[in-house]
Structure 1
Amino acid sequence: MTLQQLRYLVTVAECGNITEAAEKLFVSQPSLSVAIHNLEKEMGLVAFERSSKGVVVTRDGEELLSFARMLLEQAEIMQDHFKKQEKSLPKFSVSCQHYSFAVNAFVDTVKRYDADSYSFILRETQTAEIIDDVARGKSELGILYLSQYNEDVLSKLIKKKDLIFEELFVASPHVFISDTHPLAKEKEIKIEQLKKYPYLVFEQGDKNSFYFAEEFLSVLSMPKTIQVRDRATLFNLVIGLDGFTASSGIIDSNLNSSRIISKKLSMDCVMRIGIIKRPNSILSRFATYYLLRLNEILDDSLKL
């Protein structure tokens, strides 16, 4: 097995077509096919199902791809560390739930490593995809929360994917509402007070159960619920419909509407917000700096 074979494997999977991958890699189609076949033979599996329409990754192939991406990423980090290539293309990817502090740290990382060209990815996405992204090597880090309601299920899934969870901070329950909401002047809000208002939640696709929800109130029966896909839409509905969403309580008015305010929720539970990553992996300098800024931003926010 060589790094070149692993690069071939990843490129074929991304293209979904041997011919297109060969053109992208500047190799002949027969050479690429032989390299992939030899890798499959060495690993004792079939990575792709071939047809006249292209290739489809098998279940064994998905597992092999996750290791291939991880090894290629670690090799790149090692080269970057020892060769000190200041002109190497900055690359970093993080997948997260919809947290403004995660975006703030990402912005600072991009500014810190600004260059003539770079490839940074921030994926505010569904909970299950965050775990899959990190497991498959698409993202170095993932950010999500655990609570007494979802911890058993998510912890088992994280462990099954050979990942680890590291806590960043513990948050008490809050809700985001508009500054003109009928409950805006309340010092602390009770769940019963919220039931007549629309509850805004992030849609979770096929995994649309309370275990994968970003909002811990999803375990309760709320009579009015609206699902959305992005943060801007959610906050527009919070303002326009006197809606609310459950949260960690940390919000940045520079990235979100200044009309959104945070109110403590009278509820006996906590959110353990943290990162997921591959165990024993060497983080790139971009991921390392991102974590540094993330902790600094959280420290500053929690002091307020």
Structure 2
Amino acid sequence: MNEASHELYVSQPALSSSVKELENELGIEIFTRSSQGIALTVDGAEFLTYARQVLDQASLLEERYKNAKPRKQLCSVSTQHYMFAVEAFVEMINSIKSDEYEFTIRETRTKDIINQVANMLSEIGIIYLSDFNKDVIGKMLREKHLEFHPLFRAPLHVFISRNNPLAGKKKVTMDDLKPFPFIQYEQGEEGSFFFAEEAVWPEYSPKQINVTDRATILNFIIGLNGYTVCTGIDNGDLNNEKIVTVPLDTDETMLVGWITNERAKLSKAAENYLEKLKSVVADHGYNLID
């Protein structure tokens, strides 16, 4: 007790009193006391194990946040399956000046994007609104204290194989596409049309394929001569020698934007990502929404 009081810069009676108060508060006896000194009880030994864990965690906190070295940059984004979102993520990473970072991008289902931003697993979520889904999605965002920030409005296009007989047309209709497999992103057991990534879909499609990732959908467009509905923004990942985008003859549009948690402040990396996102969209010829 003498050595402990010296280490803590307190008097021995004050330390003994503090230990006694702790024992009373926890309802256990940590030390046995005798004329020969003190010793740990069984409860005291167990308590000491937990106490050491707390001290170890406190040391980790100090090492993490009091270290003079610049902290590791962190950023997480959840998005529907948009190539421009990934393109902007690459540009963001290439632009940072940091020896350490940990970034996460998740291409996932619409409902998962909303939940991940609501639970602060992601700082930013990228989704679209349409006349069909805006009421349902908007209500869900309000209930989860999320804000939707419009980025750009996109006329609808389809991705089809360059070998598709429709590839040379200036516009295609849903009737034109009936003979071909309709490929859409699967939204899970709780999915509904309101969460669909495709802003329009055929009233009836005898050939329909549900997929979960972008690479698969592109392979099916080429290998099965299928199609999917999209914004029309492409990049090098699209493989322009095999896949083309063709405008869809419809008045429907997609209002693409990002969602954030109104109770969270964006990191510098997340703000950087948004700037790159705007730049990528503008470079593809779309007008940004202020």
**TM-score normalized with structure 2 length:** 0.74
Deviation at 1:240, TM superposition (A): 0.6
What are the equivalent positions in structure 2 for 1:93-172 lying under 5 Å apart?
Answer: 93-113=76-96, 115-172=98-155
Q: Deviations over 1:192-226 (max 9, x none)?
A: 01011001101111232111110012373323210
Which residue does the alignment assign to 1:21? Answer: none
- Aligned counterparts of 2:217 and 2:284: Cα–Cα separation in 1: 22
Give secondary structure in 2 for the equivalent of 1:144: strand
What are the equivalent positions in structure 2 for 1:72-91 lying under 5 Å apart?
Answer: 87-91=70-74
Give secondary structure in 2 for the equivalent of 1:191: coil
Which residue does the alignment assign to 1:173? Answer: 156
- Aligned counterparts of 1:288 and 1:274: Cα–Cα separation in 2: 14
Which residue does the alignment assign to 1:199? Answer: 182
- Aligned counterparts of 1:108 and 1:292: Cα–Cα separation in 2: 10
Which protein has the larger Cα radius of gyration, Structure 1 or Structure 2? 2
**2:237 maps to which of 241, 255, 270:** 255
Q: Structure 2 vs 1, CA of residues 145 and 303 (structure 1 numbering), >3 Å: closer, same or farther?
A: closer
Which residue does the alignment assign to 1:24? Answer: none
- Aligned counterparts of 1:121 and 1:272: Cα–Cα separation in 2: 24
**Residue identity in the other structure for 1:179:** R
Give secondary structure in 2 for the equivalent of 1:283: coil
Q: Structure 2 vs 1, CA of residues 270 and 31 (structure 1 numbering), >3 Å: closer, same or farther?
A: farther
What are the equivalent positions in structure 2 for 1:1-304 lying under 5 Å apart?
Answer: 29=50, 87-113=70-96, 115-218=98-201, 220-252=203-235, 254-258=236-240, 259-279=242-262, 281-302=264-285
Which residue does the alignment assign to 1:8? Answer: none
Matched positions, count: 230
Q: Unmatched 5+ residue regions in structure 2?
A: 1-47, 55-63
CA RMSD of aligned residues (A): 2.4
Give secondary structure in 1 for the equivalent of 2:189: helix
**Residue identity in the other structure for 1:301:** H
Q: 2:92 touches 2:273 (CA, 8 Å); kept in 1?
A: yes
Q: Structure 2 vs 1, CA of residues 31 and 153 (structure 1 numbering), >3 Å: closer, same or farther?
A: farther
Give secondary structure in 1 for the equivalent of 2:126: strand
Q: 2:199 touches 2:253 (CA, 8 Å); kept in 1?
A: no
Q: 1:90 touches 1:113 (CA, 8 Å); kept in 2?
A: no
- Aligned counterparts of 1:181 and 1:270: Cα–Cα separation in 2: 24
Give secondary structure in 2 for the equivalent of 1:217: coil
- Aligned counterparts of 1:303 and 1:257: Cα–Cα separation in 2: 21
**Residue identity in the other structure for 2:264:** S
- Aligned counterparts of 1:256 and 1:167: Cα–Cα separation in 2: 25
Q: Unmatched 5+ residue regions in structure 1?
A: 1-26, 34-75
**TM-score normalized with structure 1 length:** 0.70
**Residue identity in the other structure for 2:133:** N
- Aligned counterparts of 1:97 and 1:130: Cα–Cα separation in 2: 8
Q: 2:185 touches 2:196 (CA, 8 Å); kept in 1?
A: yes
User: How high is the sequence identity, in percent, across the aligned residues?
Assistant: 40
